[in-house]
Amino acid sequence: MKPDEKRAAARAMLDNPLFHHVMDDLEAAAINGCINAPITDDETRAAYAAEARAIRKFRSKLKFLAEEQANADGKGAPA
């Protein structure tokens, strides 16, 4: 996939309000699962925390592809 195609696809996802709604719901569910896990269940709490981190990292990666990559065009090191 070419950089322009990646940028366009990332922008399309970020421009879609449904994407943000779904991601917000997923993140909230993961955070609530982490908070509401039994005190002695460290494994479950860690799994929910990892899920929340993965969601945030995915959003961050999309923002990078849509914005930062656009600013880096033509500034890469030669192959």
> What are the pLDDT digits (tens) for 14-62?
999 999 999 999 999 999 999 999 999 999 999 999 999 999 999 999 9
- Where do the domains of the chain lie? 3-67
Residues 6+ apart with CB under 8 A from 70: 7
Query: How many other C-beta atoms lie within 10 A of the C-beta of residue 23?
Result: 16
Look at residues 72, 30, 74 and name the one whose alpha carbon lies nearest to residue 55.
Answer: 30
Contact (Cβ atoms closer than 8 angstroms) between residue 24 and residue 59: no
| 3-state secondary structure (DSSP) of residue 74 | coil
Residue found under tokens 């908070």: 35
- pTM for the model stands at 0.78
**Confidence check: pLDDT of 78 > 70:** no
**Confidence check: pLDDT of 79 > 70:** no
